[in-house]
Amino acid sequence: MTSALDVAVARHIGDFDLDVAFTVDKGISVLFGPSGAGKTLTLSLIAGLLRPDVGTIAINGAIVTDCARRLYVSTQRRRVGMVFQDGLLLPHRSVLDNVALAVRQVGGRRARRDVARTWLERVGAEELAQRRPVSLSGGQRQRVALARGLAGEPALVLLDEPLSALDTKVRRELRTLIREVIISSGVPAVLVTHDAEEADELGDVVIDYDDGRVTGQHAVARPSYPEPPLENPAGTEPS
Amino acid sequence: MIALIPHSWLNAFAIPPWIWNPLSISLRAALEATVVVTVAGVALGYLLAKGRFPGRGAIETVFSLPMALPPTVVGYYLLTRLGGPGPIRDAEVHLFGHPLTFTFAGIVVAQIVESFPYCMRFSRAAIAGVDPRFEQAARAMGLSRWRIALFVTLPLARRGVIAGIAMAFGRAMGDFGATMIISGSAPMATTMPIALYNAVFYGSHEQAMVLALVQVGVALTILLGVGRLGRVRPW
C-alpha cells in the first residue's frame, strides 16, 4: 500500500543539520520534540517552501522532491493544506473569504464560498463567516485556520504547532475538534508539537525529534478509525 | 475629462480662467502622469521587492535619480533628449507629428519622470514589508503567483502603495523646474506652479496668493484622501 508521505531528507542551515527519514500513513502523525529540533523545518520541506540539500519526498507515492534529479514540485501543486501556529488568516478578507480562497476543487466565487461555508460549519465557526480575523479570539482563529487548511481537499495537511499560542482550556477543546475533523475528513496529517500530552492525545503515531534527527517512533493505542464520509462536505467530485 | 467640463460650470462657480486654466492643466497632467506611474511604479516596486536578479540595486538607483537631482537638471536632459536632434526626437515626430517639447504631452512626460521614484520606492518598501509567511500560506493554498500578488501581497501593502501613488501625484502637481523647462511656459502648458511664478514675477501678488492657497487646498485634499483610502477595505 502506498504511504501518505515518505520523507528522507537532509538540510544544513547555519550551525544546524537536519537529517531525517520517516513514513506517514493515514491518521495523524505527530513530530514531537523540543524547540529547535527541526520539526517546523521538516514541515517547510514537505510543503515545498524550502528545498532540502539531499533526499526525496513523496506524497501519496508521487515524488514531489528529488534532489538527485533536481525535481522540485511547486508548493501550489503539492496539494498540501497548512495550519500555522498563529493562523495567518489574511486580515483584509472576511473569515468566509479566507477559507474560500483555499478552495481549489470548484470554480466560481459562489461555489467556492459554499464549500467554505460547509467547512466553517464542520469546525463550528459558521457564525464567524462575515467577521474579520482581527476580531477573532485565538481559538476561533485556529478553527478557521483548520477549515482553510482542509477546504482545498489536500492530499496531506500539515499543522505547525496549531495550539501553542492558546490557553489550556481552549487547547483541550481544540484538540478534540482537530482530531475529529481530520479523522472524519480522511486526510492524513502531520502535526508538530513540543507538548507531550498534546502529542499523545492527537497523534496516532508519534515521531520523536531531537537535534535534527528522528530518535524514535511509537504508535498511540487508539480505537479503530471511523470510515471517512461517503461524500465530501461540499458534495463535489474530487478533481 | 477635466478639460471637458463646460465653461458655463466654471462661470456658475465663478472660477476665473486665470485659476481654472492652470488648475485644469495641472490636474489633467498630474492625473495622466499618475496613471502611468502607478502601473509602472507598482510593477517595478513589486519586482524589486520580490525578484532575485542581478542589478536590482542599480535599477533602483537609476530610477530613483530624479529624486536626488534638481528638477531643472531633469528638465534640461528631457529638453535636450526630447527636443534635440536624434532618434528620440525622430520617433516623437513619427508618432505624434511634432516633438513633445513645449506641449502638454511634454509636461506629462516630465511629471512621469519626476514622480516615478516616489511611487516605485514607496511600493517597494511596502511590498518588502509584507510578512512573507502570509505569502507562504497562500502558496500552500495553491494560489498562483499572480493571485498571491493580487489577493495577498498588494492588499497587505496597500497603505504604503497608496501613499506612494499620492506622493507621486503630489510631486507631479507640484513640479516646477522640469515642467518649466520642458514647457517653456507656453500658455497651453502653464501649470499651477508656473502660473504662481508668473504672477509673482509680474507683480500680481493677489493672484499669487490665491494660486498658492488653491495649491495648499489640493495638497490637503490629497493627504486627507490618502488617509481615508488607507482604511478602505481592499478587494
ipTM reported for the complex, 2 dp: 0.83
Q: Of A42, A31, A47, whose CA–CA distance to A193 is shortest?
A: A31
Q: Of A170, A145, A149, whose CA–CA distance to A158 is shortest?
A: A149
pLDDT at A235: 45
The dihedral sign for the CA sequence B63, B67, B73, B78: positive
Three-state secondary-structure class, residue B135: helix
pLDDT at B1: 42
Contact A28, A176 (CB under 8 A): no
A79 touches chain B (CB under 8 A): yes
Task: Kindly state the cell numbers that stand for B93.
Answer: 515626430
Q: How far is B220 from chain A (nearest CA, A)?
A: 27
Q: How far is A116 from chain B (nearest CA, A)?
A: 13
Interface contact B141-A102, CB threshold 8 A:
yes
Q: Which of A47, A92, A93 sits opposite B140 (nearest CB)?
A: A47
pLDDT at A19: 96
Q: Which residues of A64-86 are buried (b: 16+ CB within 10 A; e: fewer)?
A: bbbbeeeeebebbebbbbbbbbe
pLDDT at B235: 54
B232 pLDDT band (50/70/90 cuts)?
A: low
B 151-170 → A contacts, CB under 8 A: 151-152, 155-156, 158
Residue A216 has pLDDT above 60, yes or no: yes
Interface contact B140-A148, CB threshold 8 A:
no
Q: Amino acid identity of A47?
A: A
Contact B60, B138 (CB under 8 A): no
Q: Of B197, B117, B188, B122, whose CA–CA distance to B154 is shortest?
A: B122
Give the tens place of pLDDT for each residue, A84-94.
Answer: 988 899 999 99
**How many Å apart are CA B193 and CA B22, to the nearest integer?**
8
Residue B228 burial (10 A CB sphere; 0-12, 13-18, 19+): exposed
Residue A204 has pLDDT above 80, yes or no: yes
Give the tens place of pLDDT for each residue, B49-105.
Answer: 998 889 999 999 999 999 999 999 999 999 988 888 888 888 888 888 888 888 888
- Bridge partners of A6, per DSSP, are A23, A58
B136 touches chain A (CB under 8 A): yes
Residue B6 has pLDDT above 70, yes or no: no
Residue A109 has pLDDT above 70, yes or no: yes
Which DSSP string corresponds to A60-107?
A: TTEEEEETTTTEE--GGGS-EEEE-TT----TTS-HHHHHHHT--SS-
A106 touches chain B (CB under 8 A): no
Contacts of A101 in chain B (CB under 8 A): 138, 141, 143, 151
The dihedral sign for the CA sequence A172, A177, A183, A188: negative
Which domains does chain A possess? Answer: 1-79+155-223 (3.40.50.300), 80-153 (no CATH)
Q: Note the pTM of the prediction, 2 decimals.
A: 0.82
Q: Which residue out of A46, A90, A104 would a mutagenesis test of the B interface target, given it has the greatest number of B Cβ atoms within 10 Å? A: A90
Interface contact A88-B144, CB threshold 8 A:
no
Residue B22 burial (10 A CB sphere; 0-12, 13-18, 19+): buried
Interface contact A76-B136, CB threshold 8 A:
no
Q: Of B47, B203, B136, whose CA–CA distance to A75 is shortest?
A: B136
Contacts of B136 in chain A (CB under 8 A): 47, 49, 75, 82
**Residue B1 DSSP symbol:** -
- Say what angle helices B104-128 and B17-50 make with each other, to 10 degrees: 40
pLDDT at A228: 57
Q: For a pLDDT cut of 70, what percent of chain B falls above it?
A: 92
Domain B20-229: CATH architecture, name and number where available = Orthogonal Bundle (1.10)
Give the tens place of pLDDT for each residue, A23-41.
Answer: 998 899 999 999 999 999 9
Q: In what order do the strands lie in the sheet with A16-24?
A: A16-24, A5-13, A54-59, A62-66, A71-72
Interface contact A101-B141, CB threshold 8 A:
yes
A104 touches chain B (CB under 8 A): yes
pLDDT at B229: 75
| Mean local confidence (pLDDT), B112-129 | 96
Give the tens place of pLDDT for each residue, B14-35.
Answer: 788 889 889 999 999 999 999 9
- Bridge partners of A105, per DSSP, are none
B132 touches chain A (CB under 8 A): no
Closest B-chain CA to A158: B140
Q: Count of CB contacts below 8 A, A vs B?
A: 55
Contacts of B160 in chain A (CB under 8 A): none
- CA-to-CA dists, residue B74 to A218, B34, B111, B170, angstroms: 71, 18, 10, 17
Interface contact B141-A88, CB threshold 8 A:
no
Q: Of A130, A134, A128, whose CA–CA distance to A146 is shortest?
A: A128
pLDDT at B123: 97
Residue extents of the structural domains in chain B: 20-229
Backbone angles phi, psi at A79, to 5 degrees: 55, 55
B61 touches chain A (CB under 8 A): no
Residue A233 has pLDDT above 60, yes or no: no
Question: Mean pLDDT for chain B?
Answer: 88
Least confident among B43-47, B90-94, B139-143, B224-228? B224-228
DSSP H/E element including A42? helix A39-47
Q: Which residue out of B133, B135, B141, B159 would a mutagenesis test of the A interface target, given it has the greatest number of A Cβ atoms within 10 Å? A: B141
Contact B168, B120 (CB under 8 A): no
B139 touches chain A (CB under 8 A): yes
Task: Scan for cell 499620492, then name that residue.
Answer: B166
| Mean local confidence (pLDDT), A189-216 | 94
Least confident among A96-100, B39-43, B185-189? B185-189
Give the tens place of pLDDT for each residue, A139-186.
Answer: 999 999 999 999 999 999 999 999 987 888 889 889 999 999 999 999
**How many Å apart are CA B21 and CA B190, to the nearest integer?**
8
Three-state secondary-structure class, residue B194: helix
Contacts of A76 in chain B (CB under 8 A): 139, 142-144
Three-state secondary-structure class, residue A7: strand
